[in-house]
Structures are given as structure tokens and as C-alpha cells.
Copies of this chain bind each other. A is one copy, B any other.
Amino acid sequence: MLRKITPVLIAILCLSGYAQNNVKEDSTIIKKLYTTSLVNGKSYEWLDYLSNQIGGRLSGSINAQKAVEWGEKELKELGIDKVWLQSVMVPKWTRGVTEFAYIETEPGKTTNVPICALGGSVPTSIGGIKAPIIEVKGLEDLRKLGSDQIEGKIVFYNRPMQPDLIETFRAYGGCVDQRYSGAAEAAKFGAIAVIVRSMNLRLDDFPHTGSMSYGDLPNKDKIPAAAISTNGAELLSSMLKLNPKIKFHINMNCRSWKDVESFNVIGQITGSKFPNEYMVVGGHLDSWDLGDGSHDDGAGVVQSMEVLRLFKEIGYKPKRSIRVVLFMNEENGLRGGRKYAKVAQNKGEKHVFALESDAGGFTPRGFSFDCDDANFEQIESWKSLFEPYLVHYFAKGGSGADIGPLKNDNIVLAGLRPDSQRYFDYHHAKNDTFDAVNKRELELGAATMASLMYLFDKYGVK
């Protein structure tokens, strides 16, 4: 395919100021990166191990520690210049005995519904709680209802993700305040627990967990918070319409512990020309505990490792120092991302570029960039190089949670943007498993990331 496309590329890129020999070289190297990833890639094999041999790896768990050891071992086997662990204290929260909930229409008449505790929630009292339930469409409804109608009840947040937004992360952004702040806000009105509709565009039976915060609420005021599956939310809502006096029972045994030590796993190829300029590629090693975290973010982890492996494999020696960082604790604390940035700052390390993959192992569509106009102009001049790989999306916007703390005026931050249509079918739920990842889609993502890393390494940041 490349042979056909190269003349067109050259024509287009020459117009944008590109020198012809650059285009040829860049096209050739990018082609090698894609071919190597698709024909002789290691990302899928790595993900198989991480997902199926280790599994879900919530911060502070034994599995998270196993993942750290695995990541260190695999990076060392790549024969790159340096591999090390960076200590970081992380929160530890455990789910305990599987949660249990039912709707009670009258004493003895109950219907079970699938729920799961939100990460960081306090448990219910032993034996669970049972109370009337009141449905709201968001935080703003609490004030309208007031303490009179909320006190002593369970608040049920049921605003669904908006289906007509093409980018599903926007739909997520429009709902996730219910999950993150729902308990803290409802507690202020005297609610005794909250149930949140899962952040899922599909109707199914999987409850989706995720992080939540009590803000500055005193311990004694904290109330349990759980997610209910979308089918469960639809059922509960329709039953409430028939009979607003139904009760809801919920039993949760989760618990927060003292912080424990964990690690970011870091590997480096030292730059041949500018060893003191750092470029980071990463994903997060921790995951929620319900599935095996294949899309979130096993995919990002193995794709990031693959970037360095691909460089080695095709014999590309970067000018700048390329670091892969497997961040710990993105899901419920972001401690790894913050720690990495703090250490970098303390050491005065000059970070020029960081790329994160944390949006699933789906077909790559492009990147989102957090950068200034001059850098974005350079990025746009590279667009045609990605066209043969059907990678079209280059836009300004966010990047990734773990690399966010690196932000300053002199760094370009980027996030891989895979196709997002299926992401929230799996996100933070027990069906986020290895079988939901397609090998080619994963490998294409790794090659797309490697290609961008290559271009930034070659041309630098403006």
C-alpha cells in the first residue's frame, strides 16, 4: 500500500514545508513500526499474561504487586538501558464479600438487582440497610427535593449517559459527577446511602464500579455508595413509578485500610543526542477488581511497553531519552502519576513530551493534544503520514490522567484516542476481560503510539 501512497504523501507534505527525504524516511520507519507490531508484536501476548495470569489489580492488592514484578521483569528482558521501580504510597480499599441488593415491594416480596460498591465507599452496617428510595436525575435535584424528602432515604441517581454524543467520553463526563460526588452531596441532605446508575451506554446486567469521594465530609457522616447495572436501574425506576413506597435493601462489606507501598515501573532507552530530554509513554498498571482490567488499562500498559520494544526491534535509536512508565493507582488516587511528576521536578528532569493510552485497546483513531499552537501546527503537518493507517483524528483537548501532573508550558501532552463506541460496555465492570480485546486493534494502537513517539523524538517540541 505504501508504494501507491508515497507519491501522494510527498506531494501533500512538500506543500506543508516537509522536505522530501524526511517524508520518505518517516514513511518507511512508520511502515516498519506498523508491520512489526502486526506481524511480530508482543503486546497481545503480554496482555494475555497480565489479564489471565494476574487479573484485576487494584492498588494495594497482591495482584497489583504481582503486576509490578511482572512489568519490571518484562522490561528488563527487553534489554533497554535502565529499568527501575519508583516507590509510591497508595490507598488500599477492599470490596470484601460480594455485595447484595434487592427491591422490596412488600414484606417478603423481593427482586434481586446487580450492584457493586463504588471504590472508596464505606460499608453498610452488618446485615445491610433497608430504606425507602428516591430517584433523582442528578446532583441538582437534591436541592429541589430538600432534606424533607431525602432524609432517611436511599438516593438513586439515574441520569443516563447521553446516547447521541458521538464521543462516548463526553457522555461519561456528563454523568460521572453522580458517581464521584453523589454520596457526599446526598449525605448533606440526610440520605443514608446512594445507588448510582452504572456509567454504561448499553442496557445490561453489569454494575460498573469507579472512584468516588466524600470530599471533606467527617467520617461519621459518610454513607455507602453503590453502582447498579443499567438494566437494574431501569427496573428500579419503573417499579418506583408504580409504587413510590418500595424499599431497597443493600449490603456491602467494603473497607478502607492504611496506605501501603507500591510502585511505578519505569524503563528507559537513553537518548543518543539529547539524553537529558525525556519523552514518556505510559498507561496505568492498576485496575479495578471486578474484571481483569484488559481495556482499562492493561491495553495501555502493553502498548506502551511495545513502543520501546518496537524501537529496539526495528533498530531505531532515539535521540531523546524515551521512558515507558507503568503508573500505579490511576483508578483511585492518581498517586503514581503525581509521584512521577514530583520526582521529575525535584530532579530537574526536562520532560518534553508525554503520551498516555488509557481509553481502551480499540482501533486507534488518532490523538488528542494538550499543547500550544506552534506544536499543534507541527503535529498537523504529520497527519498525512498516518492516513495509510486510517488514523485521522488530531485535535486539541485532554491527554491522560497519569501524565497530567507533568503539565507545564514546555511539554506537549497527548492521549491516544481509540474508537470509543464499545469502551463503556466494559469500563470498570467484570466483563472488562481479555476476550473483549481484539489483537489487531491492540497492535494498531501500539504502532500508532510508536509512530507519534518517533516523530516527536526526531523533530522535537517547538
- Docked-complex contact A38 and B390, CB < 8 angstroms: no
Question: 26 interchain pairs (CB within 8 A)?
Answer: A1-B167, A1-B170, A34-B164, A34-B166, A35-B164, A38-B163, A38-B164, A39-B163, A163-B440, A166-B388, A166-B389, A166-B390, A167-B390, A168-B440, A201-B440, A202-B439, A363-B419, A363-B421, A390-B392, A392-B392, A419-B419, A421-B438, A421-B440, A421-B441, A422-B440, A422-B441
- Docked-complex contact A165 and B421, CB < 8 angstroms: no
Residues of chain B with a CB closer than 8 A to A457's CB: none
Contact of A179 with B by CB under 8 A: no
Can you tell how many copies of this chain the complex includes?
Answer: 2
Query: In the assembly, what is the distance between CA of A444 and CA of B163, in Å?
Result: 11
Contact of A365 with B by CB under 8 A: yes
Nearest residue (CB) in B for A165 is B1
Residues of chain B with a CB closer than 8 A to A440's CB: 163, 168, 201, 421-422
- Docked-complex contact B393 and A421, CB < 8 angstroms: no
Contact of A358 with B by CB under 8 A: no
Query: How big is chain A's contact interface, by range?
Result: 20 to 34
Instruction: Kindly provide the distance from the CB of A169 to the nearest chain B CB, expressed in whole angstroms.
Output: 12
Query: In the assembly, what is the distance between CA of A438 and CA of B35, in Å?
Result: 28
In the A-B complex, list the 4 residue pairs whose CB atoms are closest, starting with the nearest: A392-B392, A35-B164, A421-B440, A38-B164
Nearest residue (CB) in B for A41 is B163
8 Å CB contacts to B: which residues of A365-396? Answer: 365, 388-390, 392-393
Chain A 6-44 interface 0/1 with B at a Cβ cutoff of 8 Å (1 = within): 000000000000000000000000000011001100000
Instruction: Kindly provide the distance from the CB of A136 to the nearest chain B CB, expressed in whole angstroms.
Output: 22
Residues of chain B with a CB closer than 8 A to A170's CB: 1
Chain A 411-423 interface 0/1 with B at a Cβ cutoff of 8 Å (1 = within): 0000000010110
8 Å CB contacts to B: which residues of A152-195? Answer: 163-168, 170
Contact of A425 with B by CB under 8 A: yes
Residues of chain B with a CB closer than 8 A to A35's CB: 164
Residues of chain B with a CB closer than 8 A to A363's CB: 363, 419, 421
Residues of chain B with a CB closer than 8 A to A1's CB: 165-167, 170
Residues of chain B with a CB closer than 8 A to A202's CB: 439
Instruction: Kindly provide the distance from the CB of A429 to the nearest chain B CB, expressed in whole angstroms.
Output: 15
